[in-house]
């Protein structure tokens, strides 16, 4: 089963689809370091670095030797900053909000059997649903039966509180009701965004009969070697112990050691603050005289993830493009430091053989912008079942 990945980033969506049995033929991203990471981890894929608006979709299809209608899947995640409920300005005048039209241009050129669009939950409410409606109607006009769901990553084994919107389209037929994967784990996550569209509930909750519990932070990163703040150490490190859960066994498949595992250097004031923060705690544990000036007057019920130390047996907060303690719970549960790139990647469910390139800031951005591979794999398996049937 072949697919192409547009707005591919470092390749989290592609990694999950590969694990579901798909083969990436082509990928494109405008950021060169993202494309380098993608190419190094998917060596058999043709990867280009370019603004998608400059690409000739018909020529790419011909270069790949694909007839129109032959491709199994077109996947992609048009930039989501303009859609995000967390964006400072949510305006339809943001040029990034119209890049989905470029994706649709490729759909028209390739006419794949299935299409997959991934985005943030805020897409559903952006412009009162007008953008989402435009995407669905455009796919329908191209001959696709289409639907949308919001999936909680923790319901599929990803150890963090992350939600993503997925749109799936089936060429020439109505999309079956089982097109989206059912949750396989219970997890303590709650939506903080609009969950309905045209009166329909888009979030599917786990079946009450499920017994499987979510993956914890300890299960995700507990076998990685301990570090102190600011320590880089060897480029490739040894694991701290044998894997003690299935998540770690999966993470180590094909791995030759621990890459991208260097501890960011915390400022002395943050190391001092960290002494007071217990697992599961946050900025409210810090003595007032050590708080940042802007937070001394803050309500103690606000900003509950800032300067947070994760609970070993809980879920991590959503991995962002930088694990800055000022913006989330990114302090290690027992080591006095913040997460490394590898720990962030583990929490995103990247396997250890997936290596990130560029400087540390670029690596964190690649991890934070990615679709969790385990979540992508779950969606890919559902589409695979539809293709095979």
Catalytic residue annotation: 80
- Which of 55, 134, 127 has its CA nearest to residue 85? 127
Cα angle 83, 360, 277 (rounded to 5 degrees) comes to 80
- Which of 126, 128, 187, 177 has its CA nearest to residue 149? 177
- Which of 161, 141, 142 has its CA nearest to residue 151? 161
Sheet with 46-49, strands from edge to edge, namely: 46-49, 23-29, 2-6, 73-76, 114-119, 163-171, 144-152
Distance CA 259, CA 237 (A): 7
Tokens standing for residue 335: 């080591």
Q: Judging by DSSP bridges, how do beta strands 23-29 and 46-49 pair with one another?
A: parallel
Distance CA 234, CA 256 (A): 13
Contact 68, 46 (CB under 8 A): no
End-to-end CA distance of the chain: 13
* DSSP string across 334-345: SSSSBPPHHHHH
Cα angle 78, 360, 3 (rounded to 5 degrees) comes to 35
CA dist list (Å): 98 to 52, 134, 325: 12, 11, 33
Cα angle 194, 83, 202 (rounded to 5 degrees) comes to 30
E strand or H helix that includes residue 185: none
Give the length of the chain: 389
Contact 53, 102 (CB under 8 A): yes
């Amino acid at each position: 089963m072949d697919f192409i990945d547009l707005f591919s980033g470092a390749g989290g969506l592609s990694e999950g689809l590969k694990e579901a049995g798909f083969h990436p033929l082509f990928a494109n991203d405008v950021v060169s370091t993202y494309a380098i990471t993608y190419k190094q981890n998917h060596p058999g894929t043709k990867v280009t670095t370019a603004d998608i608006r400059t690409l000739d979709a018909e020529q790419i299809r011909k270069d790949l030797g694909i007839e129109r209608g032959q491709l199994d899947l077109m996947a992609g995640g048009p930039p989501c900053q303009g859609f995000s409920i967390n964006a400072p300005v949510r305006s339809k005048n943001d040029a990034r909000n119209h890049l989905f039209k470029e994706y649709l241009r490729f759909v028209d050129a390739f006419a794949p059997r299935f299409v997959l669009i991934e985005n943030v939950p805020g897409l559903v409410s952006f412009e009162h649903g007008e953008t989402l409606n435009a995407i669905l109607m455009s796919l329908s006009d191209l001959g696709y039966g289409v639907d949308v769901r919001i999936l909680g990553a923790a319901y599929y084994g990803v150890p963090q509180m992350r939600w993503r919107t997925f749109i799936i389209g089936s060429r020439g037929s109505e999309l079956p009701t089982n097109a989206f994967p059912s949750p396989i784990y219970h997890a303590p996550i709650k939506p903080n965004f609009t969950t309905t569209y045209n009166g329909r509930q888009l979030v599917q909750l786990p079946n009450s009969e499920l017994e499987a519990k979510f993956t914890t932070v300890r299960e995700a990163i507990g076998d990685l070697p301990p570090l102190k703040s600011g320590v880089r150490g060897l480029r490739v490190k040894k694991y701290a112990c044998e894997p003690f859960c299935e998540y770690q066994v999966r993470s180590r498949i094909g791995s030759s050691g621990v890459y991208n595992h260097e501890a960011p250097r915390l400022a002395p004031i943050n190391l001092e603050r960290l002494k007071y923060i217990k697992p599961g705690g946050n900025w409210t544990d810090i003595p007032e005289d050590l708080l940042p000036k802007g937070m001394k007057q803050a309500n103690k019920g606000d900003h509950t993830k800032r300067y947070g130390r994760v609970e070993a047996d809980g879920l991590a907060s959503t991995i962002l493009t930088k694990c800055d303690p000022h913006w989330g719970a990114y302090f290690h549960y027992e080591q006095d430091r913040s997460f490394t790139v590898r720990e962030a990647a583990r929490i995103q469910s990247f396997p250890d053989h997936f290596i990130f390139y560029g400087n540390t800031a670029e690596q964190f951005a690649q991890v934070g912008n990615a679709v969790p591979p385990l979540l992508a794999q779950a969606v890919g398996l559902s589409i695979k079942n539809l293709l095979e049937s």
